[in-house]
Each structure stands twice: as C-alpha cells, then as structure tokens.
C-alpha cells in the first residue's frame, strides 16, 4: 500500500497570504492544477518567506496513478513560541482542527511573520 504514496514529481505555487494569514486563492490554484492535469496528489509543502511576504506551496504528485480531486484547507491556530518545549496545546488545536475535515491525506504548518501558526490540510474530495 505504501508504494501508492511514493512520488517523485513536484509542482510549485507562489502567492501572497490572504488578509486572514491563510493560503487564500492558492488553495484553488493547487486544486485546479490537480484536476486539470489529471495527477494523483500525494503531499504538500508550505513555506512562508517573510522577507518577500510570499507563500510557497509545493505539491508532490504522481502522473502514473489514478487521479482524484483534492482540496486545501487552512486553519489559523494562533500564536506560538517556536522555542517552547511543550507543544501539547498546539497539538490539541491541531486535533480539533482536523476534526472539521474528512479524508485528510496530509498536512503542513507554516509560521507567519507575526508568529501565528497556520495548519494546512490536503483532503481527498470523494
């Protein structure tokens, strides 16, 4: 089963954060690429580049597997101290956020310039 998750193709997307610090319209761009290209999405990477005020999203995919629709969802979790040793409150917030979505394929986090942490889920839209 794990072989179905293995992938070696990637597509990059770049854009500005939405006013609420989430990925905004980039979510639709990623989903459209998957739909229009007929690929099977496997993973995401998300990085906020503070100096450029830009968000980079990488999509890992396979083009030799059955395609399926996906969607990206972002949830603002609140401020975080990256030097903290106990992340149990953030882990609980992540678990609560995940309960809102079905068919989560993978997730990613990014930290905004003002130390807000945003959780991004990629879901299978069955």
Average pLDDT over residues 83-106: 93
DSSP 1: -
109: three-class secondary structure by DSSP: strand
Say yes or no to pLDDT of 23 above 80: yes
pLDDT for position 84: 85
Q: What is the mean pLDDT of the chain?
A: 93
Distances (CA, A) of 126 to 47, 53, 64: 27, 34, 20
pLDDT for position 117: 94
Say yes or no to pLDDT of 2 above 80: no
Taking only the tens place, the pLDDT of each residue in 64-85 is 999 999 999 999 999 988 788 8
pLDDT for position 4: 78
Average pLDDT over residues 2-8: 81
CB atoms within 10 A of CB 119: 20
Average pLDDT over residues 36-47: 96
Most confident of the following: 16-20, 43-47, 76-80 = 43-47
pLDDT for position 82: 74
DSSP 16: P
Q: CA–CA separation, 115 vs 17, rounded Å?
A: 14
Distances (CA, A) of 59 to 31, 33, 70, 96, 110: 10, 10, 11, 25, 15
């Amino acid at each position: 089963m794990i072989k179905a998750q293995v992938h070696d193709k990637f597509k990059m997307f770049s854009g500005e954060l939405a006013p609420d610090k989430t990925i905004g319209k980039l979510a639709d761009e990623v989903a459209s690429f998957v739909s229009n290209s007929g690929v099977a999405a496997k993973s995401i990477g998300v990085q906020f580049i503070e100096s450029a005020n830009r968000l980079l999203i990488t999509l890992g995919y396979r083009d030799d597997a059955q395609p399926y629709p996906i969607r990206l969802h972002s949830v603002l979790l609140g401020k975080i101290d990256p030097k903290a040793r106990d992340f149990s409150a953030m882990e609980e917030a992540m678990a609560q956020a995940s309960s809102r979505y079905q068919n989560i394929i993978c997730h990613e986090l990014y930290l905004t310039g003002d130390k807000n942490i945003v959780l991004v889920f990629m879901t299978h839209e069955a």
